[in-house]
Amino acid sequence: MIEPIYSLRVAAELIPMSSTNALYQFLCKHKSQFTARYRIGRPPERILSESEILKIRSMVISTDSWWSRRPSPGRPKGVKNGMGRQAIPRVRSSPLTFSEIFQTGASPGEEVVGT
């Protein structure tokens, strides 16, 4: 069976790439994996086979891309408003014992924020 070939313009739409120039830059960056083949004509036109397009598509659309590694918008980024990590109080997770109630002066059932 003969494998179909596509021009860079059509391949950029199939992959998808933002432009033909972006696909060309990608091919220049990965030139060891994708050999350059041209359709004879004036001017010569760069072509890609269907298997090459599928391989590029899997490289571009992957779960390990820069988009998935970016920080989420809700993630805190360092010190904010002069408060460092040490300024955030920790809430006690277990209830107070009888002796701790009388040592801290808290009323029974009250949670105490400690260090």
Q: What is the pTM of this model?
A: 0.53
pLDDT at 105 over 60: no
Segments making up each domain of the chain, as ranges: 5-63, 90-114
Own/partner long-range contacts of 6-12 (Cβ < 8 Å, ≥24 apart):
6/47, 6/48, 6/49, 6/50, 6/53, 7/39, 7/45, 7/46, 7/47, 8/45, 8/46, 8/47, 8/48, 11/48, 11/53, 11/56
Task: Identify the residue with better confidence: 59 or 76.
Answer: 59
pLDDT at 110 over 70: no
pLDDT at 17 over 60: yes
Average of per-residue pLDDT across 35-61: 91
